[in-house]
Amino acid sequence: MRQIRSLNSGWSQTCLGGPGMRPGLPESIPATVPGTMHTDLLAAGLIPDPYLDLNEITLDWIGRCDWRYETCFEWSDAGDEHVDLVFAGLDTFATITLNGAEIGRTANMNRSYRFASRDQLRDGMNHLVVSFGSAWKRGAALESQYEPRPNNYPGPANLMRKMACNFGWDWGPSLVTAGLWQSVTLESWSSARLSRVRPEITLDGADGLVRLHVEIDGEPAGLTLRASVAGVTETLPIATGAALIELRTRSPQLWWPHHLGGQPLYVLSVELLDGDVVVDTWSRDIGFRSVRLDTSADDHGSAFTLVVNDTPIYVCGANWIPDDCFLPRVTPERYAERIAQAKGANINLLRVWGGGIYETEAFYEACSRAGMLVWQDFLFACAAYPEEGDLPAEIEAEACENIVRLMPHPSLVLWNGNNENIWGWFDWGWQGALEGRTWGAAYYLDLLPRLVAQLDPTRPYWAGSPYSGSMDIHPNDPAHGCTHLWDVWNDVGYEHYADSVPRFCSEFGWQAPPTWATLTEAVHDDPLTPTSPGVWHHQKATSGNDKLLRGLQGHLPQPQSMDDWHFATQLNQARAIAFGIAHMRSHRPLNMGAIVWQLNDCWPVNSWSAIDGYGRRKPLWYALRNVFATHFLSIQPRGSGLSAIAVNDRTLFWRGPVTVKRIRFDGTVMAEWTHWRLCADRLSAAELSIPDDIATPGDIRSEMLVATMHDTTAFHYFAEDIDLDLPVPAAECTLDRIGPVDWQLTVRATTLLKDLSIFVDRLDPVAEISDMLVTLFPGQEHVFTITSALDLGLDDLRQPPVFRTANDLVNR
C-alpha cells in the first residue's frame, strides 16, 4: 500500500541576500513547515511583528531577498518501486535539490508538485534543499518579457501565479512571502496508485448519483476498483490507467444551505485492490444536492439566481479574503471560527475572492458542515493577464488541479472566472494602454469554461464579477448578471444605493476602523488620532480617511475627537450596508443576492470588513445579522409614499398582523394602524402600503415610524440624525453576574436611545457582547449578555466611550 511520510520537521532557513538585507542574520534560522520566512524570523525574535505600527515598511527587505530552506532526513530502501517527493504548496519560485541533484523547479503557488526521487535517495541521511527566488526579482524579469499590462495595484502579481494581494491591496500590506506554505511528504508505492479521483455528484430524480472518474499511475492491469457511499458498493476490474464507476444511492437526504435545511454528509471512498490487498485509498465527505444558475431573460433584462435543489436562493453573502497575510497561521480551528461568525450573521454564502488563494481543504470542509455556500473565483483580480509565455500552461495546470480537488464539496456552488478584469477592459482605459496585447479574455471566455465543462459539469461557471453574460453588454449593467457598486463608497453618500436595483450585487462596501481593542493593540501612536502615523499607515485605501469623513456628510456630525471618529465611522459603516441590503432585499425577486465586501481582514486595518484582522466583530457584523435575517421587515419608499416590506427566506409562509405606529421620540404614539393579515409566501417578499396619515409626520425632527410583525421590528426616520432632535441619552442600568465569565447588563431607557452600542472591548480586549445597534424608547429595556473573565464594573459600562448612542454624536 502507498506509504506517506511527513517531512515537515527539522527544517532551517538561510537568507541568501538581496536589496536591503538586514546585516547580522544568523546563518541558520529554525523554520516551521508549513510556514513562511516572515513567521520564522518573528518566532526567532529577529524581526518585530509586521502588523504593528510602521513595521511593514521596515520589513520590506524580506520579500526582496532569496531564501534557502533545508532539512535532513533518514531513509532506508524498503524495495518500493516508486518514491516521490510531494509538495502540497510552494511559494513561489523554487528550485528543489536532493542530495545535491536538482529534481525540479516551480513557479506556481496555487498548485502542488510531485517529483520522482527514488534515484536521488540514498540509504542513511539525505539532504533536501528548497531555494526560493524573490518574487520581486522574478517580477522585474517578467515585466521586461511581457511588456506593460495594466494593474490596479503595485507589484507583478498579474505576471505570475502568486497570491495577488501579497503585494498589497487597498486593505492589505505588502508583505511578500516565500516558503513551504503547505506540507511536504515522501510517498512510497509500487505497482499502481490513485493519481486523480474526480467525482461528479448529482441528483437523478430522487436518487443521488456519483460518477467517479479515476486515473491510476503505474501498472493497473489486473487490479480492481471498489467504491462505496451510503451503503452502496460497486467494484470494477481495470486494465488501463482510467476508469469510470457509478454509484446510485436511493433517496439520500439532501444537503441544504443552513437557512433551509440540514447538511447530511456521506463518506465516499475509493479503494484500489490487488486481490484482497488494498493498494491505495481515497475518501471524502460529500453531500447530495443539485445546483444551477438561472440567467434567463425577462422583462427587466436577465436573471442571476442561484438555484439549489430546485429552490431559488436569495444570497445573503460576504466576500472572503485570505484570513492572514501568513497563510499557514490560518488553522482549521480558525476557519471554523470565522465561518461560524459568518453563519451567526445570517450569511449563507462566502465568495472566495480572486486576488487571494484557493483555500485549503479545511475551509471547504467547514463550509460544508456549516451549510455555507461557496462561490469560488479563479485567481485573477483587477489586472490584465498575459496569454503568452509560460502563464497559460501554469494557469491550466492549477485550474485543473483545483477544480478536481474542490468538486467533492457540496458547499461549492459556483465557479467564477475573475474579479473585475472584464470591467477593467471596458472602463479603466486598458484598451488604449494594451495596444492590442492580450489581457486574459481567452482565460475567462474559453479556457476556464471549457475546463469546468470537462471536469466539473455539475456546477455553473460565470466569466467574471461583474459580468452581464455577454461581451456585447456592459459588464456592470445592473439589469444583467452580477454587479459591483463602488461609485457609492468612492463618490457619493450611501443613500445612493437606492438609485438602482441590480439583479445581483456581488460587491459593495463601506469602510470603518477595526475595533478599539484591535486598533490599540496594533497601533501605539501617542496621541492616537485618525491621522497619526500608525493609524494612517493602517489605512490602505486611496483617500480612505477623506471618504470616511465625506460619507458622514448629511448623516452625522463631523467628529471632534478620536473616540467620536471611531464610533461615528463604525456606526456609519453599519448603517450604509444595512441600508443597501434592505433596499435590495425589498426588491426580491428582481434582485436575488447581495454579497457585501467584505467579511474578514488579513491584518489589523481600516477596511470594509465586518470582522476585523484579529477576529473581533465590528458593529457591521450585528447590522448584517439583522438585515440578513430570514424574516426581515423594513420600511421602504414606494412611489410617493412608504410601504412595509416583509421578506421571508424560510420554507413556510410568514403571516401575521403588521402594526405601524408614528411615535414621538418621547414615546408618545401620534398615530397607529394595524393590517391584520400580511402574508409573505415562502421564499418571497410581500409589500404593504402605509396609509398617508400614518406615514406623514407632524414634525420630522422628533417623530419616527415603528413597524412590527411578530418579533420583527423596523424603524423609519423622517430625517437624518443631524436634523433630528435626539435627546441627551439617559438610562437606568443594572449588572448581574450569571456565571464565571458571563454577565447580564440590563438597560432601561429613560429617553430615546438610538443605536445603543456597548463597546466592552474597551474594558477587556477579549470580551464579547450579544447585541449592538439597539434602539429603545423611554420605558423599554434590553438585556445584553457579556462574556468577560474580568470583574466588570457598572460605572465603567454605562459611561462613554463604552456606552455609546447616536444621540451622543448629535448632542456634541
Question: Residues with catalytic annotation?
Answer: 420
DSSP state of 255: P
For residues 557 and 568, give the distance between their C-alpha atoms in angstroms, rounded to a whole number.
8
Residue 137, classified by CB atoms within 10 Å of its CB into exposed (0-12), middle (13-18) or buried (19+), is: middle
Q: Which residue type sits at 285?
A: D
For residues 603 and 324, give the distance between their C-alpha atoms in angstroms, rounded to a whole number.
6
CA distances from 64 to 18, 94, 348 (A): 6, 15, 40
For residues 295 and 57, give the distance between their C-alpha atoms in angstroms, rounded to a whole number.
46
Asked whether the bond before 778 is cis by omega within 30 degrees of 0, the reply is no
SS3 at position 665: coil
CB 657 within 8 A of CB 675: yes
Choose among 142, 137, 109, 135: nearest CA to 388. Answer: 142
CB 530 within 8 A of CB 563: no
For residues 525 and 511, give the distance between their C-alpha atoms in angstroms, rounded to a whole number.
21
For residues 72 and 85, give the distance between their C-alpha atoms in angstroms, rounded to a whole number.
14
Residue with cell 472591548: 761
CB 610 within 8 A of CB 620: yes
List the alpha helices (DSSP H) in 126-187.
Answer: 135-146
Widest Cα–Cα separation across the chain: 91
CB 153 within 8 A of CB 383: yes
Task: HSE, CB side, 13 Å, CA atoms: give it for residue 486.
Answer: 12
DSSP state of 15: E
SS3 content of the chain, % helix, strand, coil (to 5): 25, 35, 40
